Each structure stands twice: as structure tokens, then as C-alpha cells.
Amino acid sequence: MPVPLSQLPSEVIREVGSRKWLALLIFVLVSFGVLAAGFLWPYKYTSETVIFIDDKNIIQPLMEGSAVTTEINDRASAAQELLWGRSVIEKIAKDEEIFGEDAADISREKLEARVAGLRTNIEVVPRGDSYFSISYKARSPMRAFQIAQKAAQLFIEETSERKRIESRNAYDFINKQVKSYEVQLAAAEERLKQFLSENVEGTEGEANDRLANLRAELEQAEMEKSELETRAVSLDNELDRLNPMIMQGQSADAFQNRISALEEQLDNLRLKYHDTYPDIVILREQLEELRKQRARAIANGEPIQSLAGEAIANPVYQEVQSELTSTRANIQTISTRIRSYQRLLDEQSERMERVQANNAQYAELTRDMEVNKEIYDDLLKRRERARVSMHLDVEGQGLNYHINEKAQFPLSASGPQFSMFAVAGLFLGLAAPFGLVAGLLQIDPRVRAREQLEEEMEIPVLVQLPEVKTPFEKRRDSRVTTLVGLLAVVAVVAYLAVAIAGVMGVIG
């Protein structure tokens, strides 16, 4: 039955007073146990190196657009992964300055255990945007100092080497791509050149222009042929109306016959030509002369008789016949030209079909060449930027890591100190008996106070008898208290002596 809180302090003191030897034993065991734990506690010393991330040096604005500096995102995590990498962690595990001369000759099992221990105790902590620390914990301050220093050194060396390798690999890759596309571009140009040399049909525009010209010329020739055919029909009709022969006599009638023939011929010419045409002018002069001759014959009193004359060829008939022959010859010429135009049109149509058939292949070849050339030009620019970037990394420019604070030799262990164990042991030893008794009182089923009966069991208590000790019991209790007190003082003095010796390094 739990003791009421108001009665708990007095009951605890009474129980401790009644069990002085047990309380002394608990004090000694707890206090010296905590002190022993302080001696056995695995104290670890921490040494750390602060790294500065230099990503805003003067090279960056000067080379902007011309080079790409190698960057590392989430730098603290990247640093942790790099230091945990096999290549770096084994260099530390096999370092003879840290682990002795036989560090490189240990067995595989011991090496794996050492690597696991290094990975467990190496820690990378970010400190703002431009700093992070590399720390190492070890039971030996010298080892913590050496490993922290070595880890920072290897991190910077490995980072610089990886930057150089990365930029070099990027340059080599782009350079290979440039050479590959150079070969592809040359092959595309050769295919286009061979295609143009084998296909001399010209462009579609040239073929269309030629086709239009031929059609126009064909239409013009057909119109000319139609005109000539109409003219031939007219001349043929005129020829049917003319007499191929005429009679020429010695009288005035002969003049009239000639005048009539020339007038008829003049009328025919006027149907085709203007009055200024040379043949018309000559005929008019001839007519004028014949009329004068006829007038003189009449004036001289020559009798007008119908005499038989000489039969001669009609010049008008011969002229019309000559014109008809020329027209028919022109019709044949135009017909030949029309057939030639039609043949050329057929050939040009076939050429047009070939040109259209070649357009797709020409477009594909041109597109391949243009795409390859565009990619090739872009890769050339990228290769030059990669070359400059590679030189930047070789020269140590761009993103760099610098040691801002070197590793310091740790003078004190990290975590709880021995002095804390010493102070805590003394207080815990003193508090342990009282705390233990207070806990036991809360689970003790016995009734120790009248309030327990009255409040919890509702049983009225009429009278409470006090504890009475005999004089002998009082003397015995006094002697025990004195002896326990002396032993407690001796235990405290011994505890303090051991604690001070431990703090001063005499015991450790």
C-alpha cells in the first residue's frame, strides 16, 4: 500500500536509519561503481579540419560563357561519400605513419575491420554554404589528429584528381563525337555531290519554266498553222476563179485586156497588203502607163477591132499559184515544228516526273547534311569550351577546396569527462539509498501510517502507539550510527582521493 506523500520523507529517513549498514553498502557500491565506470569509459578525442569551398574566384566571371567549371552539388554529402570510398579509405588504413610500419601487410580481415572503424568515426558536417568540416574520433588523440589531417589532405587530392579526370574525359568524349560527325558530314556531302552529278535534270522550277515555254511556243505554232491553212484555202479558191492563159492582140483591145489583168492582180494584192506595198506600187505604175498607151492609140485614130492575139500565161494566176505553193510549204514547216514541240513536251514531262521523283531523295540528303553540319558546328564550340575547362582544372582554377583550419591536436576528450563521472558518482551514491527506499515504500503492502487506514480503507484509528526503545537499544543504535558515520567518512575520503588522482592523471 503506497505511503502518502506527506509521510514519505519521514518514512524514508526512518527506514534508512533502521538499515544503516545496507545504506552504507549501497552508497559505497553505487559511488565507486560510477567512479569505476568513469575509469572504464571509452573516452574519444575528436580532431577536425575545416574546408573552404572556393567557387567564386576571379576566373569564373572572366571565363563565363567560354568554359564550364566542374561543380559538385551537395558538397558535404559528396565529401562523405568520397572519404568513404574504397580508394581513399584504404589509403588511410594502410598509412604507415598512422598505424605503424606493418599497416600495409595486415590480413584482409583486419583491414576490413579497420576500414569499418574508419568509416564509423569519420564525419563530415556542413558549416554554412561555403564551409564544411571533416572530423575523426579516436581513443588516441594522436590518431584522431593524424587521421583528420590525412583525410582532409586525401579529400583535396582526390577531388582535384577527379576534376581533372572528369574534364579530360568530357574533352575526349566530345572530341570523339566531333571526329565521328566530321566523318558523317563528309559522307553526307559526298552522297549529295554524287547525287547531283548523276541527276542533271535541274530543279523543279527550271523544269516548270521550260515546260511553260514549250507550251507557249506550241500554242503560237498552232495559231500560225491555222492562219496559214486559212490562207491556203483562200488562195486555192482564188486560183479556181482565174484563167491560167490570156490572149494578147495588136489593137487597143490588147491594152484593155492587159489593164484588166493588172487591175485584177492589183485587187488581189490589196486584199493582203497596204497600198505602200512595193508590188502594189509597181502595178499601179504599170496600169497608169497602159492607160496612157491606150489613150494615145485612140487619139491617133487607130480602128478598134477584135483581132486574134497571141495566147500567153496569166501572170495573176502564176502569182496566186506561187503564193499558194509558198503557203503550203510554210504549213509543212509549221507542222514539223509542232511535232517537234510535242516531242519536246513529252520529254519535258518525263523530265518533270524524274525531277519530282528525285526531290524526296534530294531533300533527305540535304536535310542529313544540314543536321550533321549543325551538330558538328555545335560540337566544335563545345570541344573548345571543354578544352578551356580542362586547362582550368589542370591549373587548379574553377571550383576548389582549401583547408581553412588545419586539424588541431585534441587536448581533451569529447563527450562526458572523468570529472563528471566523479561528481555524479558521489551524488548518485548519496541519493541511491534514499531513492531505493522511497521506491520500495511505494510497493510495500504493509500499513505504515494512520492516514492509510482512514483515507483508503475508511477505518477510524482511535489511538497510535509510538515506537519505544530501551536504553540498551538506544546505546547500541548510537554506537552503530557512529561507526557507520566514520566508515561513510572514510569511504568519501577514499572516493575523493581516487577521483582526484584520476583527474590529475595519476590513475588512468
Q: Is 296 a residue whose pLDDT tops 80?
A: no
pLDDT value of residue 113: 86
Distance between CA atoms of residues 336 and 344, nearest Å:
12
For residue 405, the one-letter residue type is: E
* Digit-coded pLDDT (tens) for 385-443: 888 777 666 655 555 676 777 877 776 666 666 677 778 888 888 888 877 777 776 67
Question: Around Cβ 5, how many Cβ atoms within 10 Å?
Answer: 7
pLDDT value of residue 252: 43
Beta bridge mates, 46: 137
Question: Around Cβ 198, how many Cβ atoms within 10 Å?
Answer: 8
* Digit-coded pLDDT (tens) for 112-168: 888 888 888 888 888 877 788 888 888 778 888 888 888 888 888 887 777 778 778
Contact of 349 with 357, CB cutoff 8 Å: no
Residue (of 8, 3, 29, 19) closest to 430 by Cα position: 29
Which alpha helices (H) appear in 122-203, and where do they start and end? 141-198
pLDDT value of residue 417: 67
Share of the chain above pLDDT 90, in %: 0
pLDDT value of residue 413: 65
Beta bridge mates, 138: 45
Mean pLDDT across 242-259: 62
Q: How confident is the model at residue 291 (pLDDT cuts 50, 70, 90)?
A: confident
